[in-house]
Structure 1
Amino acid sequence: MREQCDPPADEAVRNLFQREKVQAANALMKQLVVNENVSLEMLAPPLRGYFEQSGQLPSWTNANLLRQGEQVFGRYGPHIITALFCASLPSCYSAAKGVQVLHLTARMETDPHRRIVETGQMIVDVMAPGGLGMGGRGLRSAQKVRLMHAAVRYLIRQSGRWDPAWNQPINQEDMAGTLLTFSTVVLRSLERMGCMLSDTERRAYYHTWRVVGYVMGIREHLLPERLEDAIRLEGLIQQRTSGATPEGQALTQALLKLMEHIAPGNLFDGLPSTLMRHLMGDATANLLAVPPSNWTRLLVGPLRVLGWVSDGVVSLQGPQAAQLVGLFGRKLVEGLFWVNRGPARVPFRLPTALRESWDVRGWEQARL
C-alpha cells in the first residue's frame, strides 16, 4: 500500500495540468481552496468529472451512526480540537517517510496558521450537523482535500526532490494512518482527558471518520468495520512508520509555538507540550523532541486560578482534567478565528449551533 495512491483523483489532476497551462491549473486549484461552494459548471472538465463521481457515500453508511457521531462532536468539540493539536497532528509528524511531504510543501513551517486553520476547518465541516449529507459542506471539504492530495503528489513528482526510498507520496498506508489519527487517536485522547463516551458513541464517531476515509479515496480494506480492528491497524501502521526525523521535530516545534501564540495570556503556558506527552505517550513524544513536562507543576496553577483545587494535589483523570482541557480547547477554537484574519485569508467557519454549545466568543470581532 505504500506504492498505491489514488488513481481517480490522480488522473483528474494529471489531465488538468496537461490540458491547461501550469499557471492556469494552479489558479484553478487555488480557487478551489478559497471558495467554500464549488460550482461544477465553473470547473474544467477533468475536475468536474472528479467531483461528480467522488461525491457518493459508501453503501454501508449508517445515517443513525453519523448523527450520533455529530452529537459526540457537538458535546466534546473543544476537547476534540485539543486532540487534533496535541495528538493527531504530531502523531502524523512521527511518520518518518510520510512527514517528508509536509516538509517539502513547507506549509507548516512557513505558514503554520493557515495549515492548522485548514485542518481544523475540515474537521468542523465533516463533523458538524449534516456535514456529510447530500450537498453538505463536509462532503465537499473531503473531496477538495482528496484533490489537493493528488495535486501535491503531481507537483512533488515533477519537482525532482522526492526520494523513492520514501515510497509514493501520500500513499495508501500514510493516508490510512492519518485518518486513524483523527478517529482512534482522538477517541483514546478523549478517554485520557477524562471525557465519558459509551461504546455506541465511540463506534459512531469512528464510523463517521470511516465514511470520510472512503470519500477521500482510502481503500476499503484499510477502513475496518470494527473499531477494535481499526485500533489494531493504527498500532501496526505506527510500528511500521514511526521514527525520529529533523523534519518531524521541526513541524512539532512550529505547532507548539502556534498553540502558545493563540492561547491568550499565560494561564496555559506549558500545557501544550504537557498534553502532547500525556495524549501520545512518552515514546512518540520523544521521537518528536517534545519538551519534558511536570503535570503537577504545570496544572496546579491554572486549576487553582480557576477555583477548581485548593492544594497541590491534582489528578489528570476525571472532571477537573476534562474541564481544564475543554477550556483550553475553547481558547484554541477562538484563536482559529483570530490567526486567519485578513483579506487574503479564508475566514474560519463555525456553525452557530456549535458556537453556542461550546460558548465560543470573539468570533464576531475576528471576522471584521
Structure 2
Amino acid sequence: MSYTDTSMDALRQSGDELADATVAALFERGEMGSFNTLMRFFSTAGAPVPEGLPDVAREYLRATSAPPAWVDWEEMERARLFFIDNNVHIATALSFASMPACYLVPHVAKLLSTTHGLDYPSTRMAATGQFTVYLMRPDAFEAGSRFLPAAQKVRLLHASIRHHLRREGRWDVEASGVPICQEDMIGGQMFFSMLVLDSLHRLGIHMSHEGAEAYYYAWRVVGAMLGVDQDAVPENLDDARRFLDRYMIRHMGPSPEGVQLTRQLIELYEDVVPGTLLDPVVPALVRYLVGDTCADWLDVPGSPAWDTAVKAVPHLLGVLETIEDRSPLGAWALDRLGHLTTMFELSSLTRGRVMHYAVPEHLRKEYGVPDAPSRTRRWTPPAATLAP
C-alpha cells in the first residue's frame, strides 16, 4: 500500500460517521447528560442495556457490539501470548515512547491540551494501560468482557471531542483538518503498536516476526472497533512503517503544548519511582527511546551520566531473558516480578485503586494454545522509508 501527501490530506477531512452522528443526535436532543449517567453502569459486554437509554444510543451500542467479521482468532491468541510474555516491556514502551510520540505532533498535543485530557496524566496513563489489558484478556470479545464497552465508550469520547471543538470554534478545521481525523486515528494506532515494537527492539527484547505481526494485528482490530477506515489502515508491518514514517515527517515538531505535556508525564513517573535518587532514570529512558532530536523538541532534561547508564538496559534485559529461557524457576520468578511491577505502577497511577492488569499464565493451557515461540528468531523492524 502506498501513501502520498494527497491521500493523507484526504484522511484529514473525515472523522467517524457513525459515532459522530450518534453524538450529534444526543446533543441536539439534550440527552447527553442522561446518556452519560446511564453509561456508567454499562461496563461489561452482554449486560442488559440500561433502561431509559436514548434510542440513537441504543442503536449505536447494537451496531458496535461485535468485533469485525474478518478477525482471525488464532492471530489474536498469538497476540495475547506476546503480551503475556512482554507485558512489563510493553507498559514501558507505552509510557516512555508512545505517549511522548503523541506530544511530538503539535496539533495532537494542542488537542490534548485544549480538552484538558492530561490535566490529570495519571488517569490517562492508567486508562491506556487498562484498555490494553482488557484487549489482551481471553474473554475480550465475549459476554462479560470489559473491552467491548470500553471501545464503544472511547469511540464516542472521540466523537464528543470532535463535536465540542467544532461547535465551540476552538479548532481550525481549515488548517488542521477534522479533530481526531482518520489520519490521526491511524497515527495513534501506529504509536500504540508499531512504536511499541520499535521500542521493544531498542530495549533488546527478543521477538519473533510472528509475535510482532500478531501484536500489530491486534491493534488493527482495535482500530476497526474505534472507527478507523479499514480501506486506509496499513495491513502489515511494512505498510505500517511507510505510513508512520510519512505521518511523522508530515507533522512532527516542537510545540509549547508538547513540552508541557511531556513535563507532566515525567513528573508523574518521577513521583511513581520511590525516593528521588532514581528520578533521572525517567527522562533518560524517554530520551533513549525517542532519540535526542525528539527529546530536545520535548525539552526532556538531559544528564550525561544517566543518559549513558540507561544504554545498559538492553544488556541487562538480555541477561534476564537468558535466565528466563534456561530456567523454569527463573522464568516463574521473573513473571511474578513483572506482574508485581505492573501492579505497583498501576496502583500508583490510580492512587491505590486495584486494577487487574496481568493475564494469568494458566490461560495458555486452558485455551489449548502452545507456549510462546522460541526467542532464537529475532524480529527486526522494517527499514525506514523516505518521503519522495
Deviation of 1:123 after TM superposition, in Å, equals 1.3
Larger deviation, residues 160-169 vs 209-218 = 160-169
Aligned to 1:361: none
* Match runs of 1:291-302 below 5 Å: 291-294=301-304, 299=309
What residue identity is the alignment partner of 1:158? R
Aligned to 2:155: 146
What residue identity is the alignment partner of 1:32? M
What residue identity is the alignment partner of 1:136? S
What is the rounded CA distance, in whole Å, between the counterparts of 1:322 and 1:211 in structure 2? 34
Asked whether 1:84 is paired with 2:94, we answer yes
What is the rounded CA distance, in whole Å, between the counterparts of 2:363 and 2:74 in structure 1? 24
Aligned to 2:190: 180
What is the rounded CA distance, in whole Å, between the counterparts of 2:227 and 2:136 in structure 1? 18
What is the rounded CA distance, in whole Å, between the counterparts of 1:347 and 1:81 in structure 2? 17
* CA deviation string 1:188-246 (max 9, x = no partner): 11111121110110111111111111111011133222211112111111111112110
- Tell me which of 218, 222, 227 is aligned to 1:212: 222
Asked whether 1:262 is paired with 2:269, we answer no
Aligned to 2:355: 348
Change (3 A) 1:262 1:315: closer
What residue identity is the alignment partner of 1:12? T
Indicate the RMSD between aligned Cα atoms, in angstroms.
2.9
* Match runs of 1:279-358 below 5 Å: 279-294=289-304, 299=309, 315-320=312-317, 331=341, 333-341=343-351, 348-350=355-357, 353=360
Which stretches in structure 2 are left out of the alignment for 5+ residues?
A: 1-10, 322-333, 365-388
Aligned to 2:33: 26
**How many pairs align?**
337
What residue identity is the alignment partner of 2:266? L
Change (3 A) 1:296 1:103: closer
* CA deviation string 1:138-161 (max 9, x = no partner): 222222111110111112222222
* CA deviation string 1:40-67 (max 9, x = no partner): 2433221211111123322331111100
Where 2:106 maps in the other structure, the secondary structure is coil
What is the rounded CA distance, in whole Å, between the counterparts of 1:17 and 1:355 in structure 2? 46
What residue identity is the alignment partner of 1:337? S
What residue identity is the alignment partner of 1:155? H
Q: Quick check: 1:274–1:293 contact (8 Å CA) kept in 2? A: yes
What is the rounded CA distance, in whole Å, between the counterparts of 1:170 and 1:270 in structure 2? 33
Aligned to 2:374: none
Where 1:272 maps in the other structure, the secondary structure is helix
- Tell me which of 228, 238, 244 is aligned to 2:254: 244
Q: Quick check: 1:264–1:331 contact (8 Å CA) kept in 2? A: no
Aligned to 1:306: none
Asked whether 1:160 is paired with 2:157, we answer no
Change (3 A) 1:290 1:328: farther
What residue identity is the alignment partner of 1:152? I
TM-score, with normalisation over the residues of structure 1? 0.83
Q: Quick check: 1:82–1:332 contact (8 Å CA) kept in 2? A: no
Structure having the larger proportion of residues in helix = 1
Asked whether 1:15 is paired with 2:25, we answer yes
Where 1:264 maps in the other structure, the secondary structure is coil
What is the rounded CA distance, in whole Å, between the counterparts of 1:32 and 1:338 in structure 2? 26
Where 2:20 maps in the other structure, the secondary structure is helix
Aligned to 2:381: none
Aligned to 2:331: none
What is the rounded CA distance, in whole Å, between the counterparts of 1:355 and 1:322 in structure 2? 26
Q: Quick check: 1:82–1:328 contact (8 Å CA) kept in 2? A: no
Aligned to 2:80: 70
Aligned to 1:36: 43
Change (3 A) 1:192 1:125: same
- Tell me which of 130, 135, 148 is aligned to 1:121: 130
Q: Quick check: 1:244–1:287 contact (8 Å CA) kept in 2? A: yes
Deviation of 1:335 after TM superposition, in Å, equals 2.9
Deviation of 1:316 after TM superposition, in Å, equals 3.8
What fraction of aligned residue pairs are identical, expressed as a percent?
Answer: 33
Deviation of 1:100 after TM superposition, in Å, equals 1.7
What is the rounded CA distance, in whole Å, between the counterparts of 1:259 and 1:328 in structure 2? 17
Change (3 A) 1:87 1:34: farther
What is the rounded CA distance, in whole Å, between the counterparts of 2:137 and 2:300 in structure 1? 32
Change (3 A) 1:330 1:34: farther
What is the rounded CA distance, in whole Å, between the counterparts of 1:216 and 1:77 in structure 2? 23
What residue identity is the alignment partner of 1:140? P
